[in-house]
Amino acid sequence: MTVTPTRTVTLTDDATGKSWKLPVLPGTVGPDVIDVRKLYTDTGMFTYDPGYTSTGSCESAITYIDGEQGILLHRGYPIEQLADKSNFLEVAYLLQYGELPNEKERDDWVKHITYHTMVHEQLISFYNGFRRDAHPMAIMCGVVGALSAFYHDSIDIHDERQREIACHRLIAKMPTLAAMAFKYDRGQPFVYPQNSLSYAENFLYMCNSVPAEPYKINPILARAMDKIFILHADHEQNASTSTVRLASSSGANPFACIAAGITSLWGPAHGGANEAVLKMLMEIGTKDKIPEIIRRAKDKNDTFRLMGFGHRVYKNYDPRAKVMRETCYEVLSELGIKNDPLLETAMELERIALQDEYFVQKKLYPNVDFYSGIILRAMGFPMSMFTVLFALARTAGWVAHWQEQLREPDSKIGRPRQLYTGAAARDYVSIEKR
């Protein structure tokens, strides 16, 4: 902990009149936090906060979000500037080391990542063990965890150099593993990485090339892919990043921790939302069905939610969604797709929802997933690959948080407490008396 308290707040038990002073810690920007670490020792009570809506789980210097203003900063740099001026590997470096690299640092970093793009040949048998119709996220959960069975020389979490190599390996191998999951789904041969290409180009090459004919990379699509990776690179303490941190807090190895993050990302309330958005847009089909969908989203007795809308932190337009929408136009125009019915439905849905009292009052705006599925589909990816691409990009953030947590001197195993409402102690009843 690097922060010192600037003031205190007082907690009073109205029943007994007892009160306790709690230190208040300031961040660089954003809300102050009440330090409750000694609360149980001092008061004998825990805080209750399922879903962690009011709980800070760690100190972090990686990413800052102002949800009210719709601001996202990585190490202080606005996401719009990074998406416009930087590239994914540079952003991954920034997340990892805290500063933009100079030329030498950038070249060394790219060299390290590029060096590790291949995966152990025996890993191919893992893929062949999956059913052909396996969801690629199911494959990713398995193969990323399995990396710990192949790279024994980078799983000692107490060795700084091994940790660094594990991060290089994870960032480098994710595109290869993801492209292999894609090829397996298609029934096409796996394509080895081509290290003369950039990170995004190499990924597109491994996904789209076949041995039977030459493959030419489209620079506009490669830039769009890179932007999509930047937009998904990190997002502070979201469910999957918190899962990585929680798994890591027990001392688990890096590959196991990232596999845990992938499982958490898979859910439709998190990374799986881009797949769910596209399914929803396809189901809507035509603009005249939008009012019915909006009615269902507002109906308290209907579990349906407008996918790609709403966010735990953003109560304003998600800044990533703006860049994603522009990228969507660029990609569709490059591919000569005019009047895409899905894009038209999405834009009309957005227009209507942003005027609707329910969405306005609850501050529900499009999130990063709202437009990403349309782009990825236009680029030829099946829906089942969408969350895999998210996992690929988010690995940059996950490993940065993993390193940050391991460097924290007073880091503890994550162990939430509970409000117990089950039976009190009672004696065992033998089966014949039940």
Active-site annotation, residues: 311, 369
Distance CA 428, CA 385 (A): 50
Distance CA 270, CA 349 (A): 20
Q: Is 231 in the site for ligand ACO (CB under 6 A)?
A: no
Residue 78: both structure tokens together: 């606005």
Q: Which residues, numbered 306-325, are part of the site for ligand ACO (CB under 6 A)?
A: 306-312
For ligand ACO, the binding residue among 270, 322, 325, 394 (CB under 6 A) is 270
Between 287 and 305, whose beta carbon lies closer to ligand ACO? 305
Is residue 38 a contact partner of residue 1, using CB atoms and an 8 Å limit? Answer: no
For ligand ACO, the binding residue among 201, 234, 275, 369 (CB under 6 A) is 369
CA 50, 55, 58, 64 torsion: positive or negative?
A: positive
Is residue 411 a contact partner of residue 249, using CB atoms and an 8 Å limit? Answer: yes
Q: Is 269 in the site for ligand ACO (CB under 6 A)?
A: yes
Q: Is 275 in the site for ligand ACO (CB under 6 A)?
A: no
Provide the minimum distance between the beta carbon of 248 and ligand ACO in the complex, in angstroms, as a whole number: 20
Q: Is 364 in the site for ligand ACO (CB under 6 A)?
A: yes
Residue 427 — φ and ψ, nearest 5°?
A: -85, 145
For ligand ACO, the nearest residue by Cβ is 310
Distance CA 79, CA 82 (A): 5
Provide the minimum distance between the beta carbon of 295 and ligand ACO in the complex, in angstroms, as a whole number: 11
E strand map for 13-137 = 19-25, 33-34, 63-66, 71-74, 77-78
Provide the minimum distance between the beta carbon of 296 and ligand ACO in the complex, in angstroms, as a whole number: 9
The 3-state DSSP class for residue 427 equals coil
Q: Is 273 in the site for ligand ACO (CB under 6 A)?
A: yes
Q: Is 394 in the site for ligand ACO (CB under 6 A)?
A: no
> How big is the site for ligand ACO, counted in residues (CB under 6 A)?
18
Distance CA 359, CA 207 (A): 38
Q: Is 281 in the site for ligand ACO (CB under 6 A)?
A: no
The 3-state DSSP class for residue 9 equals strand
Between 300 and 426, whose beta carbon lies closer to ligand ACO? 300
Binding site for ligand ACO (CB under 6 A): 269-271, 273, 297, 305-312, 362, 364, 367-369
